[in-house]
Structure 1
Amino acid sequence: MSKPSPSPPPSNFDLQAIRSECIRIIKADSRHFQIIIFLFLLPISLPLVFFQVFPIKTLISNLLYTLTIPILSLLGTGSTAYSVSHGFHGRQVKLSSSMKAAFTSFFPLLSTWLVTQLIISGIGLILGLAFFSLFKATQVLVFQVDYSSAYFILLCLAYIISLVFIVVYLQVNWIFAYAIVVVESSWGLEPLKRSQALVKGIKGVAFKVVLFLGFFCWLGIWSSMLRFVEPAGDAWKIGASFIQIVTVPAASYYPLFMFYNLVVNTVLYMNSKAVHGEFAGEHVSLLSDDDGEVAHVVSIV
């Protein structure tokens, strides 16, 4: 007697369905995730807030500040993605295993992060040179303008807007990269290519995740950059003070935003694998596409 074929994975899950799945995974082992947040992600907020309120600008403090946040972020990424991927399948994960995954995946995650930064920096440099060349060509061929002119300011705005669109597009395509590094033990450029293949068909959902959760994560990082800026003039000092009022709380909540961003990205990645039929022979939970509840599909053959 042949076994009944399983129901096909849904192809139109939305943010509500993803949220339901994330809540299920976190509630199933809430203490485990609380420990991860306490060990790796919560300490990130301490230097973010401390150096904003007390901007100590020495070589040692800058070095500690620059190294602490990326190291803790990558360790938190490894442990969270590993734990969520196991929780997705309904498996209990030991804290020791999660800690081990954090350290074993650190250098692969670091290599992938460096590749993404090199690509984005290269695109930013090329785009900047293109706009600067356009500005110089305008000076020579059309009319004389200086760096305080409205034309130069418009070119700078066009450069920033263009770069933002490119970065958002890349972030959507690379949304699964870090989860792929942890779960599939790949590194460097390969997770980026793999993510680009898996995100096909669900870019709308991925864009919403990048737009909402990614925005708050970047706000926390951006707030940390203010400590390197020297205010000049009363107007700038007032503006910088106003920005700090907004971004210091964002820095405080940055670990939680980062945690939920990692959970959502990993859950979305696991469901994308299911949609692409990569869970043959495994026990897997999938998202339902009717009412946002979680449907469990067992023993896919």
Structure 2
Amino acid sequence: MAATPPPSSLNFCTLLTETKRIVGAHSRHFLALSLLFLLPIPFSSVLCHSLLSHYPTNSQQFFLTSHSTPLPAMPLLLALAFALFVLLFSLFALASITYSVFHAFYGRPVKFLSAVNSIRVSFWPLLGTALASLLVFSLVLIVAGLFLFLMIGGFEMFGFEMEVVSPYCVGLFIVCLAVAVLYLQLNWTLAGVVAVVEPRWGFDALSRSASLIKGMRGVAVSLIVFFHFFGFCSGMSWWSVYLKREWDVSGNVVQIVCYSMGAMVMLLYHLAANTVLYMYCKAVHGELALEIAEEFASEYVSLPFDDGKVPHVVSVAYVQ
């Protein structure tokens, strides 16, 4: 068994090229999955914003009262229903697309029904992993708040007067929280992929992701910045249309379709690129060659990105 390249050949451009190659080779398959699980997410966001815009925003009308007990009115229920809808379809898309990219990477047959059936196996591990990450994020928020109050108390001990709502305190709190969240997001980039392709979930999947990402943090950062930038630009372009006084769903069909399709493609490539990054991380850690040797014991195997454009990232040859 032989494994070559230097890990330096595994860069961001290589990642995007391999992602594009896999999606392009199975374009109809990924288009069907995207239309089924990804397109409803941006489309429902447009519909939800449109419906919420017709409701009053003042607190007296936003809540209904019954026997002096405030009950959430329709806007709050609609927002909760939208959040649940997005969560479910995000997990469906993550499970099916990750499963498909993982098998396509090895050159295995990629079938639509198999990808859809993978949701049944991966849904609960993905949900458990999402809840574990949410719990950690909540703890980080609490710790950041406690740190802010302790810092203010320390300043007051030395005679400095500070208010919790002052711009300096709020700014410091936001910066500290943003750094912590970005650090966790970087380390947990592969957690969803791990929950789909490995028998790990919850905190175990988060720990596994943090372990795999070592040595590839630069590529992971580039991936996060790249897709977040396009997501931000897409959101801003949509928001500029939404803020128009003449906004109406029936009169902005073209904008809705363009936004939804663009967001769908971006989400598809983001999920696919995360899966390819997972495979690259395993290659850097020496795990991928061993798996290929076990699966294709009597054959020479060349990985999909071993095509001349990328210098032989991993190749395995078994000699008896």
- Report the CA distance between 1:139 and its aligned residue: 4.8
Which structure 2 residues correspond to residues 53-132 of structure 1 after superposition, within 5 A? 53-55=50-52, 57-132=74-149
Question: C-alpha root-mean-square deviation of aligned residues, in Å?
Answer: 3.2
Could you say if the C-alpha distance between residues 182 and 213 of structure 1 is closer, same or farther in structure 2, counting changes exceeding 3 Å?
Answer: same
1:48 and 2:57 are equivalent in the alignment: no
Contact 2:48 2:79 in 1 (8 A): no
Q: Alignment partner for residue 275 of structure 1, among 284, 290, 308?
A: 284
SS at 2:303 equivalent:
strand
Q: Which moved more, 1:5-14 or 1:63-72?
A: 5-14
Contact 1:284 1:298 in 2 (8 A): yes
Q: Alignment partner for residue 254 of structure 1, among 263, 269, 273?
A: 263
Question: Which residue does the alignment assign to 1:212?
Answer: 226
Q: How far does the alpha carbon of each residue in 1:42-96 deviate from its partner, in whole angstroms, 9 at most, with x for none?
A: 0001221122233154354233212100100011000011000011111121111
Provide the TM-score with structure 1 as the length reference.
0.80
Question: Which residue does the alignment assign to 1:6?
Answer: 2
Distance of 2:315 and 2:118 partners within structure 1: 27
Could you say if the C-alpha distance between residues 254 and 154 of structure 1 is closer, same or farther in structure 2, counting changes exceeding 3 Å?
Answer: farther
Could you say if the C-alpha distance between residues 7 and 130 of structure 1 is closer, same or farther in structure 2, counting changes exceeding 3 Å?
Answer: closer
Read off the aligned partner of 1:11 and give its amino acid letter: P
- Report the CA distance between 1:140 and its aligned residue: 6.2
Q: Which has the greater radius of gyration?
A: 2
SS at 1:91 equivalent:
coil
Read off the aligned partner of 2:183 and give its amino acid letter: Y
Contact 1:214 1:261 in 2 (8 A): no
Question: Which residue does the alignment assign to 1:162?
Answer: 176
Q: How far does the alpha carbon of each residue in 1:258-277 deviate from its partner, in whole angstroms, 9 at most, with x for none?
A: 22111111001011112222
Contact 1:25 1:88 in 2 (8 A): yes
Taking only the aligned residue pairs, the percentage that are identical comes to 33
How many corresponding residue pairs?
277
Q: 5+ unaligned residues in a row in structure 2: which ranges?
A: 56-73, 248-255, 296-300
Could you say if the C-alpha distance between residues 155 and 252 of structure 1 is closer, same or farther in structure 2, counting changes exceeding 3 Å?
Answer: farther
Contact 1:221 1:251 in 2 (8 A): no
Could you say if the C-alpha distance between residues 8 and 207 of structure 1 is closer, same or farther in structure 2, counting changes exceeding 3 Å?
Answer: same
Distance of 1:157 and 1:290 partners within structure 2: 50
SS at 1:200 equivalent:
coil
Read off the aligned partner of 1:285 and give its amino acid letter: L
Distance of 2:308 and 2:152 partners within structure 1: 53
Read off the aligned partner of 1:200 and give its amino acid letter: K
Could you say if the C-alpha distance between residues 138 and 252 of structure 1 is closer, same or farther in structure 2, counting changes exceeding 3 Å?
Answer: farther
Could you say if the C-alpha distance between residues 112 and 250 of structure 1 is closer, same or farther in structure 2, counting changes exceeding 3 Å?
Answer: farther
Distance of 2:110 and 2:219 partners within structure 1: 28
Which structure 2 residues correspond to residues 111-260 of structure 1 after superposition, within 5 A? 111-139=128-156, 141-146=158-163, 152-217=166-231, 241=243, 253-260=262-269
Could you say if the C-alpha distance between residues 137 and 125 of structure 1 is closer, same or farther in structure 2, counting changes exceeding 3 Å?
Answer: same
Distance of 2:35 and 2:207 partners within structure 1: 32
Question: Which residue does the alignment assign to 1:231?
Answer: none
Read off the aligned partner of 2:223 and give its amino acid letter: V
Could you say if the C-alpha distance between residues 169 and 286 of structure 1 is closer, same or farther in structure 2, counting changes exceeding 3 Å?
Answer: farther
- Report the CA distance between 1:300 and its aligned residue: 5.8
Question: Which residue does the alignment assign to 2:29?
Answer: 32
Contact 2:18 2:276 in 1 (8 A): yes
SS at 1:58 equivalent:
helix
- Report the CA distance between 1:219 and its aligned residue: 7.8
Provide the TM-score with structure 2 as the length reference.
0.76
Could you say if the C-alpha distance between residues 192 and 241 of structure 1 is closer, same or farther in structure 2, counting changes exceeding 3 Å?
Answer: same
SS at 1:142 equivalent:
coil
SS at 1:175 equivalent:
coil
Could you say if the C-alpha distance between residues 219 and 48 of structure 1 is closer, same or farther in structure 2, counting changes exceeding 3 Å?
Answer: farther
Question: Which residue does the alignment assign to 1:266?
Answer: 275
